[in-house]
Amino acid sequence: MKRAVTLFFITLCFNAAIWAQSTSPVNKPVTLLGAATWDNPDQPFGRRRPVAAADKVSITLYRSGKIPAFFFANFGGPTELASDWAIQSDDNSTLKSCRIPASVTLNGNGLILETLAVTGHKAAWSTGYVYSNFKQHYGYFECRMKAAHGAGINNAFWLTTDDSFEIDITEVKYPNYSHMTLHHRKPVHQAVGFGQLFTDNLSYGYHDYAVLWTQQSLVFAVDGEAVAVMDIVDSIKGDATIRLSTALADFAGKIPTNPVG
């Protein structure tokens, strides 16, 4: 069973926009299964609100190509990967997988984060993790991703800032769930966020996961549709590193006996 996650182009649009896309098209835009659930409670740094017409217009504008991209990556080869990205190695006991460079590979379609069997680590498996060699403040960040086909794997596209915020643009959990969260790690961990179900199995094809981060709000979108919004009133002041990762974790569902793939 194929459990690797496939990710493509990271594009950074001028005026604050990062996105990731692919030459592989979105198979079919997702269909929402109800509205986003109101998950983690509101916090002083982030308060949820319904999606407004203006939010939808903003997402459409960034996806139209009218705002030129000033950074674009399609993970086309090792030179690009080494220039713009770093590969994370870790052995976190809170997860059921370590991260090693062997789990990060490239093929003709883009970046592959693969689950492998390993020895000599706390975990019996490794998963993949890369992060950007540059930082960005504000923007439209989008990643075209085919999630791993199997429970127990967290497929994440996320940002971390210099002032201890974490923006989880998506944590895709098999088969049809996306979790979108704003964390603040210091002085104590607090979080506010949403969960969204879809009628589609997100591992069957490629989908676009995005956030529009402005001074006033975070607008989360999937396949060009704004699905959740929180007002942040300029809470996030630090620049952000972009992260793409997978992890075996109990919070992502029941981990198979053999998750390799």
Q: Is 96 exposed, middle or buried (0-12, 13-18, 19+ CB in 10 A)?
A: buried
Q: Note the pTM of the prediction, 2 decimals.
A: 0.92
Give the list of residues 6+ apart from residue 155 with CB closer than 8 angstroms, or none.
5, 145, 147, 148, 170, 171, 172, 173, 246
Q: CA of 215: how far to CAs of 34, 231, 232, in Å? A: 28, 9, 7
In the chain, how long is the greatest CA-to-CA distance?
A: 53
pLDDT of residue 3: 53
Is the predicted pLDDT of residue 131 greater than 60, yes or no? yes
Mean pLDDT of 228-247: 96
Percent share of the chain, pLDDT over 70:
91
- pLDDT of amino acid 56: 98
| In the predicted structure, residue 217 carries a pLDDT above the cut 60 | yes
Strand order in the sheet with 17-19: 17-19, 10-13, 69-73
For position 68, what pLDDT does the model report?
Answer: 77
Would you say 174 and 151 are in contact if contact means Cβ atoms under 8 Å apart?
Answer: yes
Count the Cβ atoms, other than its own, within 10 Å of residue 258: 12
Domain ranges of the chain: 5-252
Q: What is the pLDDT of residues 156-212, one digit of tens each?
A: 999 999 999 999 999 999 999 999 999 999 999 999 999 999 999 999 988 999 999
Task: Give the span between the Cα atoms of 150 and 173, in whole angstroms.
Answer: 9
Mean pLDDT lowest among 11-25, 90-104, 137-151: 11-25
**pLDDT band per the 50, 70, 90 thresholds, residue 40:** confident
Q: Looking at the predicted structure, is the pLDDT value of residue 5 above 50?
A: no
pLDDT at position 23, please?
Answer: 56
86 three-state secondary structure: strand
Provide the pLDDT for residue 18. Answer: 43
Q: Choose the most confident range, by mean pLDDT, from 12-21, 93-102, 220-229.
A: 220-229
How confident is the model at residue 77, as a pLDDT?
87
Which whole number is the average pLDDT over 19-34?
72
Q: Does domain 5-252 have CATH number 1.10.510.10?
A: no
Q: What is the pLDDT of residues 49-107, one digit of tens each?
A: 999 999 999 999 999 888 877 777 788 889 988 999 999 999 988 889 999 999 998 88
Mean pLDDT across the chain, nearest whole number?
Answer: 88
- In contact, 227 and 44? CB cutoff 8 Å: no
Name the residue with higher pLDDT: 74 or 235.
235
